[in-house]
Amino acid sequence: MNEAQVKTNLQQRKTELLERHGRIARHTRHREEPLPQDFAEQAVELENQEVLEALDAEVADELRQIDRALDRLAAGEYQQCGSCGEDIPGARLDALPTTSLCVDCAAEAERG
C-alpha cells in the first residue's frame, strides 16, 4: 500500500467534503428568510431543511473519520487495528480508507 497515495486521496476527499459543507451552509443560511405563506410550500421548505441538516451531519462525520485516518497515517499507525492492534488487510483499507478496525473487530463492534 502506498501511504502517500492514501494521504493524497484522503486529503482530496476532505476538500470535496469541505466544499459540500460550504454549499449546504449557504443553503441553510438562505433559510433565514420567512417561510412562504402557502402551507404546502412551508412543508416542502421545512422538509428540505431537514434533508440538508442530515446531509451536513453525514459530511461532518466523514470529515472526522478522515481526520482520524490522517492522524493515524502521521503516527505510523494507519494499518493497525485500533482495537486488537493487528494489521488491517490492505484490501479492507482500499475499500474503506477511513476504517480503524480489522474485519473481526468491526464485526464484533457491530454485534456489540
Contacts by residues 26-32 (CB-CB < 8 Å, ≥ 24 positions apart) = 27/52, 28/52, 28/53, 28/56
* pLDDT for the residue 50: 87
- The pLDDT tens digits of the residues spanning 76-110 come to 999 999 999 999 999 999 999 999 999 999 999 99
User: How many residues does the structure list for the chain?
Assistant: 112
Q: Assign 26 a pLDDT band (cuts: 50, 70, 90).
A: confident
Q: Assign 27 a pLDDT band (cuts: 50, 70, 90).
A: confident
Q: Among candidates 75, 51, 69, which has minimal Cα distance to 13?
A: 69
Side chain identity at residue 57, one-letter code? A
Prediction pTM value:
0.82
- Give the integer Cα–Cα distance in Å for 91 and 107: 16
Side chain identity at residue 38, one-letter code? D
* pLDDT for the residue 39: 64
- The pLDDT tens digits of the residues spanning 34-85 come to 666 766 776 777 678 888 889 999 999 999 999 999 999 999 999 999 999 9
